[in-house]
Structure 1
Amino acid sequence: MKRFEKRLQELARTDPELQNPLARDNCPSPEDLSFSFEPNCPPELKISIINHVSGCPACRREFELLRGSRQLIGRLEEMFASPKSRFLDRRISFFGLALPWWKMASVLITLLAFISIFYLGFNHLNSLKEERKIATAEQVILYEEVSWPQPAVIRLGWKSARDGLFYRVEVYDQNMYLLWQSPLISENRLELPGSVLDSLKDYQHFFWQLLIYSGQNKVIESEVRKVRLVSQ
């Protein structure tokens, strides 16, 4: 949860002076984005949305917000379903609230879901009238060195950005779930640790992205790269 909140803060700190307009063409609806998380979502639709999200910064933000909200809702459900919920029941009664804990949990979960859907729908309607803006680093050159599966070695590199002070790499699995986030580094290449390679062993491809920190709390994102894992 802390990682999700930190990610939102980084996205909110982009400098308006660096923002470039990005049109939203052929973007999936908020309903389709939400449906892609359901177990009964057709694989074709899920793959189509993931491919679109990997190349559309505007939809990627909505995708990450929706995913974070669903994870929060799941954790709340687990928390209120655990034996510790009896303590919560007593604490709620102590403060004089009339509703039992399970009704309070249901109300809270419903409210969070409503807020997420409302936010996505509101952004989608606004995007029909205005172009979305985002700070992107279109000129950053990214590359990979992949040895797979034996020996398993993946190195990610990039050409140093002109205003880049520090860099951070984010690695996503083939479903665009965040697998790993590097610490801030000043070098222009890194090698993925063994724990990440183990997580990728059952996948056919993965995604990665470079975050460029250029001072004054400015964070610029590179494009999202798709890397296929094939025997070499």
Structure 2
Amino acid sequence: MGSSNTMKVGAIESFINWIESKVLDDHWSFDATVGYAEHKDLFMRNEMVCAKTLYNYLYKGILGIKAIDLPLVVRHSQRKSISRKHKRELGKSIELRDPNIETREEFGHWELDTVRGTKDKTDHVLISLLERKSRLYVALRCPSARATDVKETLHAWLNTFKDVNLACLCKTITADNGLEFSEISNLENEILSIYFARHYSAWKRGSNESIMVYFVDVYRKECQ
């Protein structure tokens, strides 16, 4: 008789096959794939497992993919369960963003993230910006991951648009709830709106999530 893990995987075979396809073909993370599947109701609750279970399967060699297929696996750490209550909210929720942005038919909606060369908060970082419609990618060098430096670097980039129509080039920016973004809401004006994805919802910024798979590895190698 097979192990309970093997039996469980057999019961969710369709879900596992879909996960492996998204990881290998589209370079999505486990968190992004599970979040997307839940949001779109692609599978029944008993036909899927959470991202943490997928990582456990990965480490045990049960899946048809390896850790090397998940370049962002270094971001995932085995941590004790933490309460999701009282999480910081840095600004307007992504739930308030115009749903039409999801269609990718209009230029000017950006996804924001940071890339760190090391875990030292004082070390220089890159600010990663990806425009949703065109997939135009912009990387800005920032002195550190401190909130003030991130805000000032982003502000300087936005100022480069002042001689053209900002309303056409940068209408919204969506970031996660990382502390490095705690001051960027101050950059909002009558043209630019800034939103923050929900906690544990990296899949809601899927465009940047995908391209970061490649960029993080290259940048960290350059910093070594």
TM-score range, shorter chain: under 0.3
TM-score under structure 2 length normalisation: 0.26
TM-score under structure 1 length normalisation: 0.25
Structure of larger gyration radius = 1
